[in-house]
Amino acid sequence: MILGIQINEGPYQHQAADSAYQFAKAALAKGHEIFRVFFYHDGVNTATRLAVPPQDDRNITQLWTELQKEHNLDLVVCIAAAQRRGLMDEDEAKRQGKDANNIAEGFRISGLGQLIEAGIECDRLVTFGA
């Protein structure tokens, strides 16, 4: 089965990013394919490389980055939601005249068309968070 995943809630205010990660990991272990993971609304905060959770807590961003490397996942961050929350990759920071970027390794910024494409190409699009 080809799966798409949408994450709408932030990594430390809600269980969505953690539950989505566990779901993705289990689906991959069962041989399913993940077409794309789309981070939307506050879910885009999962993609910041500047968050530093306590040592005894899980690092959701790092977990997604490791899963991305292991399975070559397409981790897409909604550009509009990201800009509203101060998240930018290097290209977008230059385009907006900012002097820094903060997108973690393995994530990329793109538009809502990527979510629509996932809905079309996947057998199931699973949403985590309201």
CB 98 within 8 A of CB 88: yes
CA distance 53 to 125: 29
Instruction: Please determine, for residue 13, whether its predicted confidence score (pLDDT) is greater than 90.
Output: no
State how many domains the chain has: 1
CA distance 82 to 76: 11
The CATH number of residue 30's host domain is 3.40.1260.10
Q: What's the confidence (pLDDT) of residue 29?
A: 98
pLDDT band at 12 (very low <50, low <70, confident <90, very high): confident
* 41-53 per-position pLDDT tens digit: 999 999 999 999 8
- The pTM (predicted TM-score) of the whole model is 0.95
* 47-85 per-position pLDDT tens digit: 999 999 898 889 999 999 999 999 999 999 999 999 999
Q: What's the confidence (pLDDT) of residue 130?
A: 84
- What integer best gives the mean pLDDT of the chain? 96
CA distance 36 to 20: 12
Would strands 75-78 and 2-7 be described as parallel, antiparallel, or unpaired? unpaired
Domain extent for 29: 2-128
| Cα 62 to the center of its chain, rounded Å | 11
- Within 13 Å of residue 49, how many CA atoms lie on the same side as its CB? 13
Give catalytic residues, as residue numbers.
78
CA distance 73 to 101: 21
Q: What's the confidence (pLDDT) of residue 72?
A: 97
